[in-house]
Structure 1
């Protein structure tokens, strides 16, 4: 059993206080680049597996689960909604756990277990019940990856949160770009199970990086700073109140009733203790309700609504686009997969949107993205005939939407961390020592999941009852509502230094 003695320590990434020997390659394993790559690969793996089965699902439901052809659209919407429901429920739990655990690597590894279970069930499932269970586990895995991964990126990236979220958006775009193409091509040429062989390969690489990574706060236990104490002593010796060569000030005992520095300090200490005790009580009350403090922020609520709308539009199109082009153009799964290239290829612009939000705030980039998306969505209603012109028009409009949507989403992802920083600047210590980034990005996941529930159901219902043209202007108006909310409640500045006597920005 001794060989398994250090297994929990290895899995969690924490060290033993009794042993001073650091892990091998500590500098590389705790580097910003590796941590960012690990989080982005985790997000890539989760979204890749999600996108891998999007073009395959309409065909798999018929061939694998025996769903009647006239019920395929309904079950696609239901399965997408189930994924989002699991994401909605699991996100705050994963976020709270990440904020209270000593290492964020543990929950990331737990997410891998859920992802492996998902892959197995969807690969070998032959009933609609197993498909439902697989989508539930997939939603739980996504809850962990997004809540914990985004919080870990904020811990690691410092002032470049917007750029970091831009790369997260790129990881998502690459996954959504490659997965449908690979899924459709592999399904057509090698069959259903071969699609999941690809998924197992990506998950295997994900496992390696998650086990290799060491968080920066964990790595600090092996990083020695021997000169810190001596430098502090030297600074005290050369301070203005105690210049070099002077003896320490001593209180005079010749003057009756005179106060010595010791008695003055003691009196001040009594008052400061009273003040600190009172402030600790107030802060304790605030810390017990971090979610209430967050949800009181109009900026945060505006960001969450924008994220809900963005995910609702994206996942809503996922639910109907494949069946729409199959019915209108007679395309197979490979052609459907290639069509998704037009939607997700322009997503590489996301780091620029993140940089703009770091520099100028999230409000204007996000507002511009939502406004520009409105006419694009409405124009999709003109795709109505099986002609080359209409096929080109559809691909062109989807490419434009792929360009504008990252400007809507990426700044809002960064805005969540900006809101927390603003709250901390107004009330230092309001969220305690460990912070609430996990919880905050759990709320982000909840908003994303809520859009994933509303979008597919709305899209499926409108398509069946009123048609494609009605759906496109419905989604256009939905994007316009997000633009209005971001305009009135978004913030112009992401981080402004807050002086003690200066008015603070409303959050």
Structure 2
């Protein structure tokens, strides 16, 4: 019996391509959609930063001496939820047939979290809202970045990640500014009105997005190329000469599959290559260095969320609007992120990341000298925050592109050596799941570290600790990003 037409339409694509298919599946549209998704997520994360210290007292009836504690905890809970959900999202995404569908589902969690945060009249409801917000962020970051890795060639990926970094920086840093101004002028509910409008725009773009592999169904040439690539995973471009393995240089099918590298490492039958991809990747010291950099970069950025507003209110007597304006000097340098990404694509990411963390050290330490209510201190604080924003913006695109580069080079090396790769789904989403876990760890540690140090030891000690942490991070960045600095051909 013939199938009904409606059932056939669900299982087969229409012969007529969707409207504006070329535009909706273009690199620019996909990059823009992912960048907006990241912006939306980080905007909703940060919009309550200048609002929550005041709302905790008026809505949740928290005592004034407990406000700093609950601000730090609520910000950290977002990071904890992101940390917990990221590996799950990565594992599921690499086994699914679509990146677009999970992105749409993530919006449901984001909408639910926004409603809870708006109606929350107790700390319990606010905690539930932040947990849902972290789950939504896991979907956006893991699947969105994996979608970019699927779409953009590796040699241009850092620049694409620069636009994502721009979206992230704008969201996390403009949100407190707008949140403070709108809260002062129009109240608590008006802050969430902005959030609902942004979610609506995000829904429209995610519905319009068409993945490259889906668009290929209406392009015979691209469809054939996609099928050939799927049938012959090793038919891609050969690894660069400086990444040639011993197996490529001399092994033949008649040689033993137990040939060892110096030190007794079996290049064809290593136990780690039999592990699930997410565990096999963790053997890479290059990846571990990138994850450590991501953790510290997130910690440094989010540390200001729990202390800057309160410090400005105590020192300068500013309201939430004035305190929120302090985030503006940090956000302005993020407009240069795409240019930083282009530079990283051209010259490599090792030295931009190293320079970024080293450069952020002096202005972070110098924050300790802002301790008086004078115009001079206000100007110095804004200048220092601008320098910190500039150097941290330099680190974001190359670190995000490094994650994809590690997966690509490792899989090529495995295939060229006769070992199985990561499978038909690849490992991009799982690698970005690890990146997300590192970033989430930073989002969790940063506010708690800064908040508790300020509460226990004061603003000056906090500034010193953050500066030293930034300088220390430059060491693994210099040694391992792009491979071991003394042996550039080494992938791990």
* Alignment equivalent of 2:475, drawn from 459, 478, 484: 484
2:353 corresponds to which residue?
366
| 1:173 CA displacement | 2.0
Deviations 1:333-384 (A, max 9, x none): 1111111001111111111221222122211110000000111100000000
| 1:5 CA displacement | 5.9
1:506 corresponds to which residue?
491
Alignment of 1:166-185 (within 5 A): 166-185=162-181
Deviations 1:373-428 (A, max 9, x none): 11110000000000000000000000011100011222111111111122022112
Deviations 1:410-461 (A, max 9, x none): 2111111111122022112521222111011111110011112211111111
**Residues 1:84 and 2:87 are matched in the alignment:** no
Deviations 1:34-58 (A, max 9, x none): 1111111111110111121111111
**Residues 1:112 and 2:107 are matched in the alignment:** yes
Alignment of 1:9-158 (within 5 A): 16-17=11-12, 19-158=14-153
In 2, are the aligned partners of 1:121 and 1:131 still within 8 Å (CA)? yes
Cα 1:62–1:426, aligned 2, differ >3 Å: closer, same or farther? same
1:222 corresponds to which residue?
218
Larger Rg: 1
**Residues 1:435 and 2:421 are matched in the alignment:** no
Q: 1:31 & 1:107 partners in 2: Cα distance?
A: 20
Q: 1:81 & 1:100 partners in 2: Cα distance?
A: 30
Q: 2:367 & 2:216 partners in 1: Cα distance?
A: 53
Alignment of 1:216-295 (within 5 A): 216-225=212-221, 286=273, 288-295=275-282
In 2, are the aligned partners of 1:99 and 1:434 still within 8 Å (CA)? yes
**Residues 1:445 and 2:436 are matched in the alignment:** yes
| The 10-residue stretch of structure 1 (285-294 or 346-355) with the greater mean CA deviation from structure 2 | 285-294
Cα 1:132–1:348, aligned 2, differ >3 Å: closer, same or farther? same
Q: 2:313 & 2:222 partners in 1: Cα distance?
A: 67
Q: 2:222 & 2:408 partners in 1: Cα distance?
A: 31
1:204 corresponds to which residue?
200
Q: 1:78 & 1:344 partners in 2: Cα distance?
A: 24
RMSD: 2.9
Q: 2:337 & 2:282 partners in 1: Cα distance?
A: 27
| 1:225 CA displacement | 3.1
In 1, are the aligned partners of 2:83 and 2:440 still within 8 Å (CA)? yes
In 2, are the aligned partners of 1:360 and 1:493 still within 8 Å (CA)? no
* Alignment equivalent of 2:190, drawn from 155, 171, 194: 194
In 2, are the aligned partners of 1:94 and 1:442 still within 8 Å (CA)? yes
2:260 corresponds to which residue?
none
Cα 1:411–1:54, aligned 2, differ >3 Å: closer, same or farther? same
Deviations 1:110-167 (A, max 9, x none): 1101100011001111111100000000111111100111111111111311001111
Q: 2:111 & 2:378 partners in 1: Cα distance?
A: 38
| Matched residue SS, 1:427 | helix
In 2, are the aligned partners of 1:303 and 1:415 still within 8 Å (CA)? yes
Q: 2:189 & 2:83 partners in 1: Cα distance?
A: 29
In 2, are the aligned partners of 1:364 and 1:492 still within 8 Å (CA)? no
Deviations 1:283-331 (A, max 9, x none): 9983652122211111110010011111111111111111011011011
In 2, are the aligned partners of 1:91 and 1:446 still within 8 Å (CA)? yes
Deviations 1:13-41 (A, max 9, x none): xx733743332322222121211111111
Alignment gaps of 5+ in structure 1: 10-14, 233-270, 495-501
**Residues 1:405 and 2:392 are matched in the alignment:** yes
| Matched residue SS, 1:22 | coil
Deviations 1:176-233 (A, max 9, x none): 343222211111111100110110000000000111111001111222239979xx9x
**Residues 1:466 and 2:451 are matched in the alignment:** no
Q: 1:211 & 1:457 partners in 2: Cα distance?
A: 37
**Residues 1:352 and 2:347 are matched in the alignment:** no
Q: 1:328 & 1:354 partners in 2: Cα distance?
A: 37
Cα 1:372–1:23, aligned 2, differ >3 Å: closer, same or farther? same
Q: 2:224 & 2:457 partners in 1: Cα distance?
A: 70
Cα 1:176–1:34, aligned 2, differ >3 Å: closer, same or farther? same
Q: 2:77 & 2:355 partners in 1: Cα distance?
A: 32
Q: 2:444 & 2:137 partners in 1: Cα distance?
A: 15
TM-score, with structure 1 as normaliser: 0.83
Alignment gaps of 5+ in structure 2: 229-251, 258-267
Cα 1:393–1:285, aligned 2, differ >3 Å: closer, same or farther? closer
Cα 1:195–1:18, aligned 2, differ >3 Å: closer, same or farther? closer
Cα 1:74–1:154, aligned 2, differ >3 Å: closer, same or farther? same
